[in-house]
Amino acid sequence: MANSRLQEQIAFLIEIDKVKSILRRNYLTDGSRRENDAEHSWHLAVAASLLAEHAAEPIDVARVMKMALIHDLVEIDAGDVIVYDQAARQAQKAKECAAAERVYAMLPADQGRELRALWEEFEARQTADARFAAAVDRLLPILLNFQSRGKAWREHGITADRVRQRNAHIADGSPAIWEFVQAVIDQALETGCFPERP
């Protein structure tokens, strides 16, 4: 092929197909199997679009959706870890940085820089777009856990207090979504979705 830019883009698209094989810790709503990263990214992009009106600050919905679609590509190399394991999350940071270096560098330089910058912005949560993207990113596993009757929470011994503590930053991106999440956690506790009893 004569067009090396196109070749780089196609090679990247082939590489990111691997994200379909990265299993996350939470289950689908019916509890039948674990969700994969591609499904999560798609769900997150749709959710960000639909819930944008609940953002704490004005956001660029297209940028948020782009963050949603690319933020977990690093897990092709780094894999997924449970967000409630602080030690694993710390070790994961270095793996994800190395993965970002490799994966985004596959693209033509301008596109690689753009996607890497969006990934870093998402991770830092210092902008309105990133705070909202991170809020919705944490909302979805809570919804899936609630719908699957807490299957992953119970498997990993995750208590309601830990869910509240780990996800409190949702309020930074959307106080309305955080208020909703608090109610979901309360209901999940009452209905036996957590390993502890109410």
pLDDT digits (tens, 9 = 90+) for 105-154: 999 999 999 999 999 999 999 999 999 999 999 999 999 999 999 999 99
Q: Name the nearest CA neighbour of 145 among 82, 193, 189, 192.
A: 193
Which residues 6+ apart lie within 8 Å of 148 measured at CB? 26, 27, 28, 29, 30, 31
Name the residue type at position 182: Q
- What's the CATH number for 4-190? 1.10.3210.10
Is pLDDT at 88 greater than 90 in this prediction?
no
Share of the chain above pLDDT 70, in %: 98
109-139 b/e with 16+ CB inside 10 Å = b?
eeebeebbebbebbbebebbbbbbbbbbbbb
Where is 26: in which H helix or E strand? strand 23-27
Residue ranges of domains in the chain: 4-190
Tell me, what DSSP letter sits at residue 28? P
Report the mean per-residue pLDDT for the chain.
96
